[in-house]
A and B are shown apart, each in its own frame.
Chain A
C-alpha cells in the first residue's frame, strides 16, 4: 500500500511536470515571435476598419446613427460636401455651383453632368427632387431624422428647372441650410431604382432600401452580414474616376471586444480600429501603429435641472454658476480621457462656425472652489446644516448626480465632482442608471438634479448645438428638459437660426452666450478627441468631424 502511494505521487508529480512543460513551450514560442517584425502590407488594395456598432439601416432617408452613416457616405453623394479636415468650406460634389437669393429663401444648384449611379442610370435633377421629397414623404418612420430637412423644406420646396438645375425654395430662411446638405439625409438616390423597389409610401420605411443601397458614390455594397461586416467594392461608374491612388475594397468589421481589435490592429488585419481611451496605451509606441488625436464635435456636459419644482436651489442661477466653478476640468480631462479632450467654452464646439462668439473661444469658468464658496455665501446659501459635526449648505439637501451605467469616463467625473461638492459643503450622491432609465427620469419624472451627457453633430452648424441646449421649450429648444428659459436669449437664438447673414448670426450667438453663461443650465466640460489608431501604411487619412470617413481618399503604401 505504501509503495503504491509513493508510485501514485511520482506519477502525479510527473503529470504536473509534463503539463508545465507544455505551457512553458507555448510561452517560449511567444517570446521568440515577439521579436519578429511585421512590415509587409496586408491586403494592399483593401482597407479594413474594426469598430463597434453595426449599421442599423443603409437607407439615407432614415439613417440617424454613426454606424449607418459611415457606409452611406461611401455609397451615396450629396450636393455639397466637406473635404479633408476643413469644416468651414463647402465643396462641390453633385452640385458644381450654387447661389442664394437676396432674401435667403431661394437656392439654385447647378448639377454635375455625366454622372452615373453604380447601376448605370444617369443622374439628373429629377433624382435630386425625388430624394428630398422622399425624405419628407417617408418622414423617417424609424428615426425621425427627416426633421433636419423639415426645418426649412416642404414638398413644394424643390423644383426641377432643367435636367441639371434645381431650385430649392425654403419655407423660411435658415442660416444653416447649406450645412444640412452634406449630412446623410441629403444623399441623392436614383429615382428609377427606388421606384422599382417599393417606391415611397408616406410614413412607411422601405425595406429594400435598408439593405440594398445604390448611389453615385465611390463605393457600392458587396454584402452586409449583420453584426459581422459591411463590404464595399469600388463603383466602376464613379464620376471622380479611379486614376491615382485608391483602394478597391473597404471592409467595415464589427468586433465588440477591445482585446480582439487590438490584436487585429497589431497583426495588420485591421488598418484602423476603435479603442477606448484607456486601451490606447496598449498600442501606443508599437511599431507600425499611429495614434493621433483629432478634435471631434463630440462634447460632454453636465446638465442641470433648473426646474424649481425639482430643486429650489438649482433653480437659482448663482448656484449653477458656483457649480461651474466647482468642477475640476483639467483633472477630469487627464483622468477620464487620458488627456484626449480639450476644454469647452460653451455649447458650440471648437472648429464649428461661430465658436469664437463664446468669450472668444475661452472657457469662462475654471476650477476655483474658493470662488464657488464665495458665490454661494453671497447668495445666502451658507453652511448651516449640521451632519455628524460637518456643516453643509442647502439645509442638507442632497444633489443627485446621474450618469449612464457602463460609461467609465462619466463615472470617474461624477465621483470626482462629488468630492469637490463635498469640499464646498454640498451633500451629493452619484447614481448610475441604464440609458432608458435615465431617459425616463429626465423626460417623464423630472426627478433628477445633475446628469452627465454627451452630444454629437447632425450637421455643421451651431444651430444644431446651441439652440437645442439653451433655447427654451417654448421655442422648441431645451432638448434636455432643463427648464431653462430666458426670453432675450430665445430672441437672439431665433435671430441666429433664421438669418443667413454671418454678421447677424455672429452677433446673435454672442448676445445669447453673454447672457446665458451668467446663469448656465449646463456645466460645459470637454470636447472629446477622436482617435482611431491606424497602421502607418495607410496614407492620406485625415479626419473631418462632420463627415468622419472618406475611404476614396485613402490608400495603402509606404511613403
Chain B
C-alpha cells in the first residue's frame, strides 16, 4: 500500500470516530437534568421569551436523539452552533483559542523533544555516571512534580521575586494582537513584520512553554534512555563496534534510529494531549487557550462549545496518531504502513 493510500484511509476513519465521539459526549452532556437555556438567559432573572428562543435554538424541547440528529446535520454543514457563554459562534472561539494552545504546544515541544532526546542519549551512553544521575533526577522531578505547582513556583520566582520574565498572558498588558492570519502570534507578527509584537510574543512564551515542556521532556528523556539502553545491548551494535565503526556512527546511525520508535510514539501522543489544552498551565499563566475554554464550557453546560471542542480533540488525536505511524516508516524502512506487510 502506498503511503498516501494509507493516509487517506486513516483520514476516512475520522468519520466514524467523530460520530462515535459525538454520540458519547452528546449523551453524557445531555442526560443530566438541567436547564441550560435558563442559565444562559440569566438564571432567575431570565425572561421567558429568551428562554424559549434558546430552548428552540438548542432543540431542548425535543427528545435527545432528535436533538442529536439536528446537531449532526449542523456539523455536516460545518456549523458548530453558538457558544452561549461567549455569545458568539463556537468556530470563532475555537479559531481564537486553538492557535494559542497550538503555539504553546509547539514551543513546549521545541524545548521537550531536543532536550529529551539528547538527555536520554547522554544518560544512556554514560550510564551510571554523574550526567546520567543528573538527567535521571531531572526526569523523575519532571515526571512527578504536579504541573500547577511547578507553574506557580516558576511564576513566583522568575516573574515576581526575580522579575525577568512576564507574569502572564500572550503579550504585554494593553498590547494589540497582530492581525490574525494564522492565530499564532509569533508567526503572524513575522508575517506582518511587527518585531515589537514578535519580541513580546516570544518573551511571554518562555515560562508557560517551559512549564508545559518540562513534563513532556521527562517523558521523552526516560523513553529515549530506556530504549537506547535496550538497543545498545543488541548484537548488531556489538558487531558494529567489532568491525571498527566509530562510537559516533554506532550511536547516531545504528542505535538511535532504532531507539527512536517508542520515543516517537510517546511524543506523538503527548503532542496530541497537549493540543487538547493544558488547563492548569493555561489558567496559571492566563493563556487564553482551548483548555481553559473547554473547562469553562463543561462547567457552564455550554453544550455547543463542549461538542465543538470534543470534535476538535478527536481530529487532533487521529491526525497525531497518523503522523506517528507515518514517521515510523520514515525512520525505520522495515515498517510498512497498512495491514499488508
A pairs with B: yes
Chain A residues numbered 1-43 whose CB sits less than 8 Å from any CB in chain B: 4, 7-8, 11-12, 14-16, 18-19, 26-27, 29-30, 33-34, 43
Q: Who on chain A is nearest to B47 by CB?
A: A144
Please tell me if the beta carbons of A256 and B34 are within 8 angstroms of each other in the complex. no
Please tell me if the beta carbons of B167 and A30 are within 8 angstroms of each other in the complex. no
- Asked if A147 meets B47 with Cβ closer than 8 Å, knowing A57-B87, A269-B173, the reply is yes
Please tell me if the beta carbons of B41 and A440 are within 8 angstroms of each other in the complex. no
Number of interface residues of A (CB under 8 A): 71
Please tell me if the beta carbons of A11 and B174 are within 8 angstroms of each other in the complex. no
Please tell me if the beta carbons of A225 and B177 are within 8 angstroms of each other in the complex. yes
Contacts of B169 in A (CB 8 A): 228, 253
| Chain B positions 160 through 186: 1 when the CB is less than 8 Å from some CB of chain A, otherwise 0 | 111100011110011011000000000
Contacts of B33 in A (CB 8 A): 437, 440-441, 444-445
Quote the shortest CB–CB distance from B330 to chain A (angstroms): 36
Please tell me if the beta carbons of B161 and A249 are within 8 angstroms of each other in the complex. no
A48 at the interface (CB under 8 A from B): yes
Please tell me if the beta carbons of B134 and A19 are within 8 angstroms of each other in the complex. yes
Contacts of B285 in A (CB 8 A): 260
Chain B residues numbered 32-50 whose CB sits less than 8 Å from any CB in chain A: 32-36, 38-39, 41-47, 49-50
Quote the shortest CB–CB distance from B29 to chain A (angstroms): 11
Please tell me if the beta carbons of B301 and A227 are within 8 angstroms of each other in the complex. no
B133 at the interface (CB under 8 A from A): yes
Please tell me if the beta carbons of A11 and B128 are within 8 angstroms of each other in the complex. yes
Please tell me if the beta carbons of B45 and A479 are within 8 angstroms of each other in the complex. yes
Q: Who on chain B is nearest to A445 by CB?
A: B33
A264 at the interface (CB under 8 A from B): yes
Please tell me if the beta carbons of A267 and B163 are within 8 angstroms of each other in the complex. yes
A143 at the interface (CB under 8 A from B): yes
Please tell me if the beta carbons of B152 and A29 are within 8 angstroms of each other in the complex. no
Please tell me if the beta carbons of B43 and A435 are within 8 angstroms of each other in the complex. yes
- Asked if A12 meets B133 with Cβ closer than 8 Å, knowing A56-B86, A144-B46, A253-B173, the reply is yes
B337 at the interface (CB under 8 A from A): no
Please tell me if the beta carbons of A18 and B134 are within 8 angstroms of each other in the complex. yes
| Chain B positions 133 through 176: 1 when the CB is less than 8 Å from some CB of chain A, otherwise 0 | 11011100100000000001001110111110001111001101
Q: A458–B45 Cα gap in the complex (Å)?
A: 10
Contacts of B258 in A (CB 8 A): none
Q: A458–B46 Cα gap in the complex (Å)?
A: 13
Please tell me if the beta carbons of A231 and B174 are within 8 angstroms of each other in the complex. yes
Contacts of B96 in A (CB 8 A): 226-227
Q: Which of B39, B141, B293 contacts A439 (CB 8 A)?
A: B39
B288 at the interface (CB under 8 A from A): yes
B129 at the interface (CB under 8 A from A): yes
Please tell me if the beta carbons of B288 and A226 are within 8 angstroms of each other in the complex. yes
Please tell me if the beta carbons of A266 and B160 are within 8 angstroms of each other in the complex. yes
- Asked if A30 meets B161 with Cβ closer than 8 Å, knowing A226-B96, A434-B34, the reply is yes
Please tell me if the beta carbons of A436 and B36 are within 8 angstroms of each other in the complex. yes
Quote the shortest CB–CB distance from B13 to chain A (angstroms): 33
B283 at the interface (CB under 8 A from A): yes
Please tell me if the beta carbons of B50 and A141 are within 8 angstroms of each other in the complex. yes
Please tell me if the beta carbons of A256 and B292 are within 8 angstroms of each other in the complex. yes
Please tell me if the beta carbons of B157 and A30 are within 8 angstroms of each other in the complex. yes
Q: A154–B42 Cα gap in the complex (Å)?
A: 23
A412 at the interface (CB under 8 A from B): no
Contacts of A260 in B (CB 8 A): 155, 167-168, 284-286
Q: A350–B286 Cα gap in the complex (Å)?
A: 36
Q: Which of B34, B134, B174, B292 contacts A440 (CB 8 A)?
A: B34
Chain B residues numbered 256-284 whose CB sits less than 8 Å from any CB in chain A: 283-284
B97 at the interface (CB under 8 A from A): yes
B299 at the interface (CB under 8 A from A): yes
- Asked if A267 meets B160 with Cβ closer than 8 Å, knowing A259-B284, A434-B301, A436-B36, the reply is yes
Please tell me if the beta carbons of A227 and B47 are within 8 angstroms of each other in the complex. no
A257 at the interface (CB under 8 A from B): yes
Contacts of A531 in B (CB 8 A): none
Quote the shortest CB–CB distance from A553 to chain B (angstroms): 20
Quote the shortest CB–CB distance from B163 to chain A (angstroms): 6
Q: Which of B36, B41, B47, B137 contacts A15 (CB 8 A)?
A: B137
Contacts of B38 in A (CB 8 A): 436, 439-440, 443
Contacts of B78 in A (CB 8 A): none
Q: Which of B32, B46, B129, B162 contacts A33 (CB 8 A)?
A: B162
- Asked if A439 meets B42 with Cβ closer than 8 Å, knowing A29-B162, A257-B283, A260-B155, the reply is no
A126 at the interface (CB under 8 A from B): no
Q: A11–B126 Cα gap in the complex (Å)?
A: 12
B130 at the interface (CB under 8 A from A): yes
Quote the shortest CB–CB distance from A55 to chain B (angstroms): 9
B241 at the interface (CB under 8 A from A): no
Contacts of A228 in B (CB 8 A): 169-170, 286, 288
Quote the shortest CB–CB distance from A351 to chain B (angstroms): 20
B53 at the interface (CB under 8 A from A): yes
Contacts of A266 in B (CB 8 A): 160
Contacts of B161 in A (CB 8 A): 29-30, 33-34
Contacts of B141 in A (CB 8 A): 19
Q: Who on chain B is nearest to A15 by CB?
A: B133
Q: A458–B130 Cα gap in the complex (Å)?
A: 67
A222 at the interface (CB under 8 A from B): yes
Contacts of A269 in B (CB 8 A): 167, 173
Q: Which of B39, B43, B97 contacts A227 (CB 8 A)?
A: B97
Quote the shortest CB–CB distance from A260 to chain B (angstroms): 5
Chain B residues numbered 233-271 whose CB sits less than 8 Å from any CB in chain A: none
Please tell me if the beta carbons of A11 and B39 are within 8 angstroms of each other in the complex. no
A251 at the interface (CB under 8 A from B): yes
Chain B residues numbered 100-135 whose CB sits less than 8 Å from any CB in chain A: 128-130, 132-134
Contacts of A14 in B (CB 8 A): 130, 133
Quote the shortest CB–CB distance from A504 to chain B (angstroms): 27
Quote the shortest CB–CB distance from B283 to chain A (angstroms): 5
- Asked if A144 meets B41 with Cβ closer than 8 Å, knowing A11-B129, A249-B174, the reply is yes
Q: Who on chain B is nearest to A264 by CB?
A: B167
Contacts of B87 in A (CB 8 A): 56-57, 142, 210
Contacts of A255 in B (CB 8 A): 168, 286
Q: A545–B283 Cα gap in the complex (Å)?
A: 29
Residue among A18, A143, A266 with max Cβ neighbours from chain B (10 Å): A143
A263 at the interface (CB under 8 A from B): yes
Q: A468–B45 Cα gap in the complex (Å)?
A: 9
Please tell me if the beta carbons of A251 and B174 are within 8 angstroms of each other in the complex. yes
Could you pull out 21 A-B pairs where Cβ atoms are within 8 angstroms? Answer: A4-B128, A7-B128, A11-B128, A14-B133, A15-B137, A29-B161, A46-B173, A56-B85, A140-B50, A142-B50, A144-B46, A227-B97, A228-B169, A228-B288, A253-B173, A260-B285, A264-B167, A435-B39, A436-B38, A436-B300, A443-B35
Add 11 more A-B contacts to A16-B137, A30-B157, A144-B42 (CB < 8 A).
A7-B128, A56-B87, A139-B49, A141-B53, A227-B293, A228-B286, A256-B286, A263-B159, A442-B44, A444-B33, A479-B44
- Identify the B interface with A (CB < 8 A): 32-36, 38-39, 41-47, 49-50, 53, 85-88, 93, 96-97, 128-130, 132-134, 136-138, 141, 152, 155-157, 159-163, 167-170, 173-174, 176-177, 283-286, 288, 292-293, 299-301
- Identify the A interface with B (CB < 8 A): 4, 7-8, 11-12, 14-16, 18-19, 26-27, 29-30, 33-34, 43, 46, 48, 54, 56-57, 64, 139-144, 147, 210, 222-223, 225-229, 231, 249, 251, 253-257, 259-260, 263-264, 266-267, 269, 406, 434-437, 439-445, 453, 455, 458, 468, 479-480
9 tightest Cβ-Cβ pairs between the two chains A and B: A144-B47, A15-B133, A436-B34, A144-B50, A440-B35, A227-B288, A439-B35, A436-B39, A30-B161
